[in-house]
Amino acid sequence: MCSRLFGLLGFVVLLFYISNEASGMEERFTDSSDEYPESLQPSNEFLDSFEPSSEPPDLLPLFSNQVPRSFQAQPSMSKYSAFVVFGDSYSDNGHARAPQHNDSFAAKPAVGGRFCDGPVWNEYLVQKLANSEQSNITFLNYAYNGAHINNTLSNSFPNPVPDTGEQIQTYLTELENYVKHPTSAKGLAGNILHTIWIGINPILSIWRSTSYGNETLHPGTFLTPELVEKVDKQVAELNKQLLLLLNNASVSEFQSDFLIMTIPPLTFTDLAVTQAAQQAKGDVTLARKYITLLGELTDDYNQKLVSSIQSIRRQQSMYRGVQNFLHRKKRGSRVTLFDTVKFWNDVKSEPQKFGIQSLGSCYTNTQKPPCKQPDHFMYWDILHPSSILHDDLSTAVKTVIDGLDQ
């Protein structure tokens, strides 16, 4: 009898602790008990996009398993029965969209509405997942070129594309309808992989609003309290969106994995260097300060994103402990991070290892044709990666995913 009472008391204490963790998580972005990945340590190393198209692309998707916007249930015995993508132009595969957002398609010579010379990373990844599992996977891409985390925080453009909050809400609505009226009992029988890669456009927006016309930047004080607060709000909003996914009843019907990706070093791009030089009006020292500011904003965002995800992972770990206590068989959701910064640095250090001959851009002037061999370059245009880099990225992401069960 005593052992049962002590066991019940321990369970109640655990639930109370979890409740406190969940209620305070959105305010916590730093935790000295968790170390950041080495690549996310602050560094001072050195994105508006090209003119979009108002017409839908006339090129078909390069991969036949692209299934935007609608659930096409396919029987599958694979690890993942579905792959869901949220994000911006680094993830937009040129999927169909409402007419009012057709101007978000990338114009030619970009391929298929993507800001790229070919498929993007998630298209390569879904193909590799399907091949390795020898099965079909339902592919849902909700990403939009030019997307922000929350349009009200950082997007001043009229008629903005759906931010990740809207993307996630659209998915949840469709998923709820699917759960209520499944077209096949086995359609989503396996795990669902969700990925979120967002933050580039908000950070660029904050950078531009701070650096443009500002000639009073001082080393060591670039990240003012005002800028820190702006970055905090972005991470808090993304944290809220992820929790919405994790706690949704329809999502909970399935075993789900969530892969969150940090943003790459933006100071590597021709766009950052060019815009910094233009705003500095020939002042090389000031241009370098602008670049340094962008690097610090990027680092600050990534570090706080990592800390936020670590907090969520601790909460998920405690929930799994409760499930084990109750002898539940369902393993629950898993949340993991992909260190994009490390991948970018690896490519920069040994480009030949990734099949890349130049760290520059293939298409730098919209008044001139692009280079003849874009697969030799790290970047397609002055901001967006080339398709070969997307392919390399998909391989690195798959390695992380494969390691989840090890």
pLDDT band with cut points at 50, 70 and 90 for residue 34: very low
Residue 194's pLDDT is 98
User: C-alpha distances in angstroms, 248 versus 86, 98, 192, 256?
Assistant: 16, 26, 14, 11
Residue 115's pLDDT is 98
Q: Which two tokens stand for residue 406?
A: 């090890």
How confident is the model over 296-308, as pLDDT tens digits? 999 999 999 999 9
Is residue 7 one of the residues assigned to a domain?
no
Q: What is the mean pLDDT of the chain?
A: 81
Is residue 163 one of the residues assigned to a domain?
yes
| Percentage of the chain lying above the pLDDT 70 cut | 71
The answer to whether 384 and 48 are in contact (CB under 8 A) is no
**In this model, does residue 36 exceed pLDDT 70?**
no
For residue 331, the tally of other CB atoms under 10 A from its CB is 11
How confident is the model over 113-169, as pLDDT tens digits? 999 999 999 999 999 999 887 678 999 999 999 999 999 999 888 899 999 999 999
Residue 25's pLDDT is 37
Residue 57's pLDDT is 46
How confident is the model over 220-257, as pLDDT tens digits? 678 889 999 999 999 999 999 999 999 999 998 888 99
Residue 314's pLDDT is 87
Residue 253's pLDDT is 86
Number of structural domains (the chain) is 1
Is residue 92 one of the residues assigned to a domain?
yes
pLDDT band with cut points at 50, 70 and 90 for residue 93: very high
Residue 28's pLDDT is 35
Is residue 27 one of the residues assigned to a domain?
no
Q: How far apart are CA 224 and CA 232, in angstroms?
A: 12
Residue 315's pLDDT is 81
pLDDT band with cut points at 50, 70 and 90 for residue 38: very low
- Domain ranges, residue 235: 49-405
How large is the average pLDDT for residues 346-362?
A: 98
Range from 74-78, 99-103, 264-268, 274-278 carrying the lowest mean pLDDT: 74-78
Residue 3's pLDDT is 44
Q: How far apart are CA 267 and CA 39, in angstroms?
A: 14
Is residue 241 one of the residues assigned to a domain?
yes
Q: Which two tokens stand for residue 217?
A: 């930047």
CB neighbour list of residue 46: distance below 8 Å, 6 or more residues apart: 267, 268, 272, 273, 288, 291, 295
| Percentage of the chain lying above the pLDDT 90 cut | 60
How confident is the model over 390-402, as pLDDT tens digits? 999 999 999 999 9
Residue 321's pLDDT is 53
Is residue 80 one of the residues assigned to a domain?
yes
Residue 182's pLDDT is 63
**In this model, does residue 357 exceed pLDDT 70?**
yes
Residue 42's pLDDT is 33
Cite the DSSP H helix spans in 212-283: 225-246, 270-280
Q: Which two tokens stand for residue 79?
A: 């690890």
Q: What is the CATH number of the domain that holds 299?
A: 3.40.50.1110
pLDDT band with cut points at 50, 70 and 90 for residue 405: confident
Is residue 39 one of the residues assigned to a domain?
no
Residue 177's pLDDT is 86
CB neighbour list of residue 57: distance below 8 Å, 6 or more residues apart: 94, 105, 106, 111, 112, 113
Is residue 40 one of the residues assigned to a domain?
no
